[in-house]
Structure 1
Amino acid sequence: MKNLSPIERENRLAELLTQLMSGTITEGKLLRTLRKEVLGLSQEQYSKLVGISRRTLSDLELDRASPSLALLNASLRPLGLQVGILPRDPSLRRRLFEQRDTVPPSN
């Protein structure tokens, strides 16, 4: 694993989150990729960091778990992420994010 600069880590995070929002990767794939590429940690190291078993982390990364919100938030915290509410329909998600990019910020 190559050591990423802070800017490279942020760019990779943005790229992966965009893929998640468009439905091209799953939450588990996002978690696994960020754990490995951004933090450079093994499953054993990351599971100890977040206080869950390596098996639970593996199940999360393989999208085989039905985790609680608390577990999801704990597993995402080291990555600077938290669980949120998004539309299930990928086309609606894309439309919302495209609108976000074209709407000027409110004061």
Structure 2
Amino acid sequence: MKRRQLTPDERERALLDVIRALLRGTINEGEALRRLRRDTLGLSQQAYAELVGISRRTLSDMEQGKGNVSVAVMNRVYRPLGLKVGLLPRHPALLEKAMERPTA
């Protein structure tokens, strides 16, 4: 069964939902990648791996939280999703403070 293409607004909402779940710690990076690839872009592992120039096995390992890939590879994998690898605080309270809007 072929999935319906998401509108740009639907794609953005789906992307933000996944990012929020990742920041809350309810999913890990591999699950986030899988959801974004499959649900947001509607691509198989093989198609996405070909798009970003890695093997399907490497993509599968990343989605399962296995393996050890470079930051350059991670950025190549996340680029079609409009994302890049970055640094976030590990401590939930510090992350929450970092996400707050500064007051003027």
- Give, as a single letter, the amino acid of the residue that structure 1 aligns with 2:43: L
Are positions 1:3 and 2:10 aligned together?
no
4+ runs deviating over 2 angstroms:
none
Distance 1:33 1:70 in 2: 21
Gapped runs of 5+ residues in structure 1?
none
- Which one of 15, 18, 21 corresponds to residue 20 of structure 2? 18
CA contact (8 A) 1:35 1:42 kept: yes
Q: Of the two structures, which has the highest relative contact order with CA contacts closer than 8 Å and spacing of 6 or more?
A: 1
* TM-score (normalised: structure 1): 0.88
Are positions 1:38 and 2:58 aligned together?
no
Paired position in structure 2 for 1:89: 91
**Percent sequence identity over aligned pairs:** 49
Deviates more, 1:34-43 or 1:88-97: 88-97
Distance 1:2 1:12 in 2: 14
Distance 2:88 2:51 in 1: 27
Gapped runs of 5+ residues in structure 2?
none
Distance 1:63 1:94 in 2: 24
- The total of aligned residue pairs comes to 102
- Give, as a single letter, the amino acid of the residue that structure 1 aligns with 2:42: G
Distance 2:35 2:46 in 1: 15
